[in-house]
Chains A and B, each alone.
Chain A
Amino acid sequence: MRQIVLVFLLFISANTFAQDTTVVNHASSHEVAVEKLDNIYGEVSHTESAEEESPVDVIMNHVADANIYHIATINGKHITFGLPCILWRNNKLSVFSSSRFHHEEVVDGFTLDHHTGKVVDAATGKRSSDLLSYFGATDSSKFIDFSITKNVFTMLLGVLLLTIAFSMVVRSYKRGANVAPKGFQALFEPIFLYIYEDVIKQNLGKKADKYAPYLLSLFFFILIINLIGLIPFFPGGANASGNISFTAVLAICTFLVITLNGNKHYWHHIFAMPGVPKWVLIILTPVEIAGMFVKPFALAMRLFGNITSGHVVILSLVSLIFILGKNGESLGGAFAGSAMAVPFVLFMSALELLVAFLQAYIFTLLSAIFISSAVAEDEHH
């Protein structure tokens, strides 16, 4: 029964994702300059800039990472929270606060792209390189960005909150074995027990205790970052768990746990599926090997897609106010847009709250299922 519900929910999330893209395309077809949108949602922009920003830019820049935390703009004045920039170029480390870009155009040969909020090379305007292009490229403009970005800040905040929460809970448990849970502990315990009993123990059985710390860490880490992402103002709002780098790291962790703990039956099933004619193995083995990588890849893409789509949908709905209001020129349009957007955003926010829990749960559940299939003793023989 739960499996059916799960599949159903996965379909719903897939549908919302499909809808997002249409919303975005629709919005982009307007190609209306919505500078005012920046003032409330998201990015640092040059109000004096001649370039026009469409809602698509605003939304896409919002869901991407940034080196500066934009809080609000009041009368054209940006209120931002400077984040530490840690930049590695030519074996030289540059460390400074991104708030310096308010006064200085160029710091250590870097500048801030005010549209994306990312640090770029001052001369070429190029973004930081990934690992392959860093070692492959020869030009001197290449650099690696180890900055505490919005997403890293969110992760640190999430871990801080979890540390406070866990220390409270652990202290509550230290009161004694026979005391009924109360307060925050009473909120935490059902979640903890649900994940432990119904997700981990259900799938891993006797081996549950070995993998429980990993799976519980995964669940609470994803959950807190999903939830912080739902807060629409500072210090929330960053799309950390909807970032491919974040989800990829977690998926790789699951992949490593599976691969390093896979027993002989697991490898046997991949390279020589028992009970199958030899010639079928020519097809089956590559498929199984691909499956090893597809599983974590699907994990990463699912979390990335669901969380990003949630952010995109909410921002698109909010953009309606500015599109219909023609950036404050049409008061009636703005009212009409608000009348449409507010109930939808309310609904979407509630749905995203569910999705925040659901995606953390699904990631953990699927990780538990994959791990259990790799470490389970074979029952057929």
Chain B
Amino acid sequence: MNLYLFDPMSLIAPDLGLVFWTTLIFVLFWTLASKFAFKPIGEAIKKRSDSIADALSAAEKAKDEIKLLQNDNENLLKQAREERAAMLKDAKEAKEAIIAEAQAKAAKMKDEAIGEIEKQKVTAIADVRSKLSQEVSKMALEIAEKVLEKELDSTKDHQNLVNSLVDKFKLN
């Protein structure tokens, strides 16, 4: 006795029409989705993950390069500092040498100048002395001459003459 109005076989017996349509729809979906969806999507995802991997490795490489550059920079800086120190040292030495040389030269020049001056002085004094003695002798002669010219005048006049001559000589 069948209590129910439904056909129990309909639930478990495959239906030919449905099998046909399921096969058709699924196989079409499989073919089209593979070609137009899964392939481009898979490729795009692969491309993206590759590009991300590339970018990461490039960044890693860049980091290493920067580290290398930094080391280089530090070395350069160190070198530059050393060079600067050396240059400063050299300059200082050069300065000192120049100063010392200049001082030595100046001292030498001074000595020479002093020597020259001394020499000139001696020469000048000698000159003056000889000239003065000539002058004095000449003056004495002149005075003597004048005295001799006015000899006959009074003693008083004689005295005055000598005085005036002496004054005149003094003024000279």
Least Cβ–Cβ distance between B67 and chain A, in angstroms: 26
Given contacts A64-B10, A169-B37, contact A243 B18 (CB under 8 A): yes
Check: B7 CB closer than 8 A to any chain A CB: yes
Given contacts A213-B38, A244-B13, contact A65 B33 (CB under 8 A): no
Residues 136 to 176 of chain A near chain B (Cβ within 8 Å)? 144-149, 151-152, 155-156, 159, 162-163, 166-167, 169-170, 173-174
| A244 CB contact (under 8 Å) in B14, B16, B48 | B14
Least Cβ–Cβ distance between A21 and chain B, in angstroms: 12
- Is the CB–CB distance between B6 and A60 below 8 Å? yes
Residues 51 to 79 of chain B near chain A (Cβ within 8 Å)? 51-52
Using an 8 Å CB-CB cutoff, how does the interface string of B1-45 with A read, 1 for contact, 0 for none? 001111110111111111111110111111011101111111011
Closest partner residue, chain A, to B25 (CB atom): A155
Residues 171 to 207 of chain A near chain B (Cβ within 8 Å)? 173-174, 177-178, 189, 192-193, 196
Residues of chain A lying within 8 A (CB to CB) of residue B121: none
- Is the CB–CB distance between A116 and B6 below 8 Å? yes
| B37 CB contact (under 8 Å) in A86, A149, A166, A218 | A166
Binds B, one of A3-11, A51-59, A337-345: A51-59
**Assembled-state Cα–Cα distance A216/B27 (Å):** 13
**Assembled-state Cα–Cα distance A332/B29 (Å):** 50
| B11 CB contact (under 8 Å) in A64, A115, A118, A221 | A64
Given contacts A169-B37, A217-B26, A217-B34, contact A249 B19 (CB under 8 A): yes
**Interface residues of B, CB < 8 Å — how many?**
42
- Is the CB–CB distance between A166 and B33 below 8 Å? yes
**Interface residues of A, CB < 8 Å — how many?**
65
Residues 25 to 70 of chain A near chain B (Cβ within 8 Å)? 28, 31, 51, 53-54, 56-57, 60-61, 63-65
- Is the CB–CB distance between A155 and B21 below 8 Å? yes
**Assembled-state Cα–Cα distance A65/B29 (Å):** 22
**Assembled-state Cα–Cα distance A193/B13 (Å):** 36
Least Cβ–Cβ distance between A330 and chain B, in angstroms: 24
- Is the CB–CB distance between B10 and A246 below 8 Å? no
- Is the CB–CB distance between A146 and B20 below 8 Å? yes
- Is the CB–CB distance between A115 and B41 below 8 Å? no
Which of A149, A166, A174, A308 counts the most chain B CB atoms within 10 A?
A: A166
Instruction: Give the total number of A-B pairs whose CB atoms are below 8 A apart.
Output: 156
Least Cβ–Cβ distance between B10 and chain A, in angstroms: 5
Least Cβ–Cβ distance between A35 and chain B, in angstroms: 12
| A249 CB contact (under 8 Å) in B6, B26, B36 | B26
- Is the CB–CB distance between A177 and B5 below 8 Å? no
Least Cβ–Cβ distance between A109 and chain B, in angstroms: 17
Check: B47 CB closer than 8 A to any chain A CB: yes
Check: A131 CB closer than 8 A to any chain B CB: yes
Check: A127 CB closer than 8 A to any chain B CB: yes
- Is the CB–CB distance between A220 and B33 below 8 Å? yes
Closest partner residue, chain B, to A86 (CB atom): B17
Residues of chain A lying within 8 A (CB to CB) of residue B27: 253
Residues of chain B lying within 8 A (CB to CB) of residue A28: 3-4
19 contacts between A and B (CB under 8 A): A28-B3, A56-B6, A60-B8, A64-B6, A127-B7, A128-B15, A128-B16, A146-B16, A146-B20, A155-B25, A159-B25, A174-B40, A174-B44, A189-B45, A209-B42, A214-B34, A217-B38, A221-B30, A244-B11
Q: 14 other contacts beyond A173-B41, A253-B27, with CB at 8 A cut-off?
A: A28-B3, A56-B6, A60-B11, A86-B17, A116-B7, A127-B10, A144-B17, A146-B16, A152-B17, A167-B37, A177-B47, A177-B51, A214-B34, A217-B30
Pairs A-B, 7 closest by C-beta atoms: A213-B34, A173-B44, A166-B37, A245-B18, A60-B6, A249-B22, A217-B30
- Which positions in A face B, CB cutoff 8 Å? 28, 31, 51, 53-54, 56-57, 60-61, 63-65, 86, 115-116, 118, 127-131, 134, 144-149, 151-152, 155-156, 159, 162-163, 166-167, 169-170, 173-174, 177-178, 189, 192-193, 196, 209, 212-214, 216-218, 220-221, 243-246, 248-250, 253, 308
